[in-house]
Amino acid sequence: MTTTSTTAENTQRISMLKVLNPFHVWALGVGIVLVGEFMGWNFSVAKGGAYGALIACWVIGLLYSCVAMIDSEVTSTVAAAGGQYTQAKHIIGPLMAFNVGLYLVMAYTMLEAADALIVGDLMSAVAAATGYEGLSPQPFVVLTIAFLAWLNYRGVFMTLTLNFVITLFAFLAIIALFVGTDPLNPGSVLKHSDLLTDLPYGWIGVVAALQFGMWYYLGIEGTCQAAEEVRSAGRAIPLGTIGGILTLLVAATLTWYISTGLMPWQYLGQATTPLYDAASIIGNPSLQVVLFIGTMFAAIASANGCINDAARAWFSMGRDRYMPTWFGAIHPHYRTPFRSIIFLIPIAVSFAFTGLLDQVITFSILSGLLGYTFMSINMIKFRKMWPLDVIKRGYIHPFHPIPALVLLALCSVVYFATFLGYGASLLSIMAFYIVASVWFVMRRYQFVKRGDQFTMPWPRPKGY
Amino acid sequence: MILWELLSYAAWIVSGLLLLWIVVDAINVSREFDEELLISSREGADELLEQIKQEEGVR
């Protein structure tokens, strides 16, 4: 068999293919996120008004900049699929790793379901616009998930190359819309002086807006899942991740600027597709088509990246026996975690068929938030246990420990913001992860081979 | 409009075929290859770090 590698002991092993470059990493991170610019972020306007949404955009931008810097440093040394799960396994311990792995799988699978729902709803909207009311979105939801799962099954290079093309198109659609608003002549198309108001609900509204500010950036941390398949994790992950967060900061600010200059906050706060609405207001049919395709591509790119990441997180847990080892299999031809990809298909379809976009997204955001909280603690422990002179990093983030402390503080504020709007969901998700942790400790941990899971060629941690 | 109904049926059929292809391929692979081989992957090491180590070794 030509597709397997051989170790020194002449034992055949299959490994994932190292074929990705920084552009694929960028496409994975930005691809998962960019749909949030096309819809969702604008719910922050309903809570905090236009200025409140801008504060949320930049404060949460700071949160995710910390996430991107911390992730880049740790992943440049942990070149393994599983991302933050693998980091937790090496740096904190098994229970944390199990929880982080579960956060990742739940966050990405739920986001994938929401993205597929968006594609289905867009198809229904097109049908309604052409005179066919009541088209069921379900066949298009299933087709989206089935096609992208098939693509992921067949290989990571093609999957993320496609993501690069459609993500770039979606990003350029935002740029085209910005150009279409004649930004050099403020007041001609964009009416900020008429539309911007004071904070409608005061500063508590701004705090409540923070939760929806996460839509601008949720998922950029997914770049870490590519660590085992990039040619050089030490170079590609930091380049792709930092490039990704810079792209998103630009896209988020442009999105806010365009939308708040064309729509009053009362309308914008409840719009379903604000950027498409902005193109409609400008009245340029070509821009409308570009924005419609951009919205569709952004949702597909997001679902595509989510399948990639959820499958790798689940696969890594299987490989370490945190889940049944059956899930830790790699396809001998395509070199993908094929069983994990298959296993997660019915789960994503089930979430999508509930039709509860709000709840599904909230569960995804909260799972992500729990993961970011872990990352701040993880970073402080990582630098303490393995200082800079002990392990070579592909990237060293500046001003440590300020980014980790800022991340922890901002996560705490967003928990409070989430509690204001979705207190019951927050408590339910906490209960879910506590029950899962009890199951892991009581039932599953006995199967974990503790000695085998520490794979990085690191020296003993300081103090041990 | 009949076009949208046809598209819906086409979406179901294509989805079914894609999922069937995936499942059949996964079953074939699981039969054809030894389970030990399929689950034999290990977490990778980064070439950059190896390169840095080699360079330091040379110095």
Minimal CA separation from A117 to chain B, in Å = 14
Q: Is A179 on the interface with B (CB under 8 A)?
A: no
For chain A, percent of residues with pLDDT exceeding 90: 82
Least CB-CB distance to B15: which of A146, A325, A331?
A146
Taking the C-alpha atoms of residue A160 and residue A278, their distance in angstroms, rounded to an integer, is 29
Chain A residue numbers with beta carbons less than 8 Å from the beta carbon of B43 are 79-82, 86, 228, 316, 319, 455-456
Contacts of A325 in chain B (CB under 8 A): 39
The two structure tokens encoding residue A132: 């066919």
The predicted pLDDT at position B55 comes to 64
**Is A461 part of a structural domain of the chain?**
no
Tell whether A462 is covered by a domain: no
pLDDT value of position B59: 52
Do the domain assignments include residue A341? yes
Separation of alpha carbons A357 and A110, rounded Å: 9
pLDDT of A360 above 90: no
Is residue A263 in some structural domain?
A: yes
Ranges of each domain in chain B: 19-59
Give the structural domain span for A36: 25-447
Least confident of A6-10, A346-350, A404-408: A6-10
Candidates B15, B27, B31: best to mutate against A (most CBs of A within 10 A) is: B15
Radius of gyration of chain B (CA): 24
Instruction: Check which CATH number belongs to the domain holding A287 and give it.
Output: 1.20.1740.10
Average pLDDT value for chain A: 93
pLDDT at A462: 82
Which residues in chain A are closer than 8 Å to B40, comparing Cβ atoms?
11-14
Q: Which of A242, A273, A235 is nearest to A124 (CA)?
A: A273
Render pLDDT for A417-450 as a digit per residue (tens, 0 to 9): 998 888 898 899 999 999 999 999 999 999 988 7
Q: Check: CB of residue A379 under 8 Å from CB of residue A403.
A: yes
Interface predicted TM-score of the whole assembly (ipTM), two decimals: 0.89
- pLDDT higher than threshold 80 for residue A163: yes
Inter-chain touch B49–A77, beta carbons under 8 Å: yes
Contact (CB<8Å) A332/B29: yes
Which residue, among B41, B54, B55, would best test binding to A if mutated, counting the most A CBs under 10 Å from its CB? B41
- b/e burial code for range A83-107 (CB count within 10 A of at least 16 → b): bbbbbbbbbbebebbbbbbbbbbbb
Of A271, A240, A206, which is closest to residue A75 (Cα–Cα)? A240
With an 8 Å Cβ cutoff, the interface of chain B facing chain A consists of 1, 3-4, 8-9, 11-12, 14-16, 18-19, 21-23, 25-26, 29-30, 33, 35, 37-49, 52-53
| Residue of chain A with shortest Cα separation from B28 | A331
pLDDT at residue A6 greater than cutoff 60: no
pLDDT per 10-residue tile (average), chain B, 59 residues: 92 98 98 95 64 61
A226 inside 8 A of chain B by CB: no
pLDDT over 90 at A176, yes or no: yes
Q: Which residues of B touch A12 (CB under 8 A)?
A: 37, 40
Nearest to A140 among B11, B35, B38 (CB): B11
Task: Judge whether A4 lies within some domain.
Answer: no
Instruction: Write the CA distances from A173 to A24, A115, A359, A388, integer angstroms.
Output: 20, 18, 29, 42
Whether A346 and chain B come into contact, CB under 8 Å, resolves to no
What average pLDDT does range A343-359 have in this prediction? 88
- Whether the CB-CB separation of A44 and A53 falls below 8 Å is answered with yes
Q: Which residues of B touch A124 (CB under 8 A)?
A: none
A394 vs B contacts (CB less than 8 Å): 46, 48-49
Q: pLDDT tens, A69-93?
A: 999 999 988 888 899 999 999 999 9
Quick one: average pLDDT of A362-376? 91
Q: What is the pLDDT of residue A342?
A: 98
Partners of B35 on chain A (C-beta within 8 Å) are: 329
pLDDT at A316: 95
Residue A119 has pLDDT above 90, yes or no: yes
Q: Tell the residue number behind the tokens 């298009």, with chain if given.
A: A140
pLDDT score of A4 more than 60:
no
Q: How far apart are CA A39 and CA A125, in angstroms?
A: 15
DSSP character at residue A230: B
B chain contacts of residue A390, beta-carbon cutoff 8 Å: none
Q: Give chain A's domain count.
A: 1
Shortest distance between the Cα of A16 and any Cα of chain B, in A, equals 8
Predicted confidence band at A3 (pLDDT cuts at 50, 70, 90)? very low
Which residues in chain A have Cβ-Cβ distances shorter than 8 Å to B37?
4, 12-14, 332
Burial A410-426 (b: 16+ CB within 10 A, else e): bbeebbebbebebeebb
A431: part of which helix (H) or strand (E)? Answer: helix A402-439
Check CB contact under 8 Å for A139 and B23.
no
Q: Please write the tens of the pLDDT for every residue from A256-278.
A: 999 999 999 999 999 989 999 99
Please count the other Cβ atoms lying within 10 Å of the Cβ belonging to residue A192: 13
pLDDT at A233 over 60: yes
How far apart are the C-alpha atoms of A224 and A233, rounded to whole Å?
9
Q: What is the pLDDT of residue B52?
A: 59
Model pTM score: 0.93
